[in-house]
Amino acid sequence: MSDDWNAYLTQIEDSIASVLLDMGIVSDAPDPQRTWLVRVFIPLQDPDPYGMTTNEEFTAIQPLEEGIVDAIEQGLGAVHVGCLTHDGRREVAFYSPTFEGVDVALAPVMQKHATYQLRSSYQEDADWGFYFEILYPSEYEYQSMQNSSVLHNLIEAGDSLEQERPVSHWAYFPSEQARAQFIASVQEKGFQIEQEIQSDEQEQSNPFGVQLERVDHVDQASIDQVTIELLELAHSLEGSYDGWETMVITDE
């Protein structure tokens, strides 16, 4: 388990779902010593209309969830990789070297939190398919998470996010031609080109970069729309979008 945990909202079979996952463990996944996916299901007693936890119940089940994590990690030598909340239940997911002993490990937790009827399941998942295909965000969801992180820093600095302001973006491409096509497209959308960048590193797959700027709003919905549009355009030219930055605006 790493210290790099993050959360986001997604959809599973047309239902809203909340995902909390260990992003930092991805570099070590799949772990060949932990090939069993073990899931513990907590049925929500008072879900909201979307099947999610209310603030009150979320607070109430935290000690239960912590007890589950401690029990499975210590009892089975498992690693906790994430949680998934949807359709009136919360799933606590682990990868473990074995599935044997799940019920024994959970017994003290169930006794202590008898108002919740826990259920568990296990299956072999050597490729960590559940982690990569269900828990791990799509590229668009990941970009939105990155945007949220930048916005959090702006808010922490006293920015209300209400004022539009110049926003700089970066993108990189495998060829000068691809970069030129990208530049032509974004200029039609009102972006100004700040500089063209070229890397001398031979191993870099996208050495031809560009910094662009446009005045935009930076609330979550607005910046998600802008960045995903740039990401899709860069990908259509076999390039990559590399994020954004802006100034802090305060009322002082």
CATH number of the CATH domain containing 195: 3.30.70.970
Domain boundary pick from 108, 135, 162 = 135
DSSP string covering 132-159: IIIISPPHHHHHHHHHHHHHHHHHHTT-
Residue with the larger pLDDT of the pair 252 and 10: 10
Residue 219 near residue 161, CB atoms below 8 Å: yes
Q: Domain residues for 78?
A: 5-135
Same domain for 22 and 124, yes or no, is: yes
CATH number of the CATH domain containing 81: 3.30.70
Beta strands in 73-152 (DSSP E): 79-86, 89-96, 119-124
Q: How many structural domains are present in the chain?
A: 2
pTM, entire model: 0.81
pLDDT, residue 107, reads 95
Same domain for 130 and 22, yes or no, is: yes
Same domain for 158 and 124, yes or no, is: no
pLDDT tens-place string over residues 107-160 = 999 999 999 999 999 999 999 999 999 999 999 999 999 999 999 999 999 999
Same domain for 18 and 131, yes or no, is: yes
Task: Tell me if 68 is assigned to some domain.
Answer: yes
Same domain for 130 and 174, yes or no, is: no
Within 10 A of 32 (CB to CB), how many other CB atoms are there?
A: 7
Task: Tell me if 252 is assigned to some domain.
Answer: no
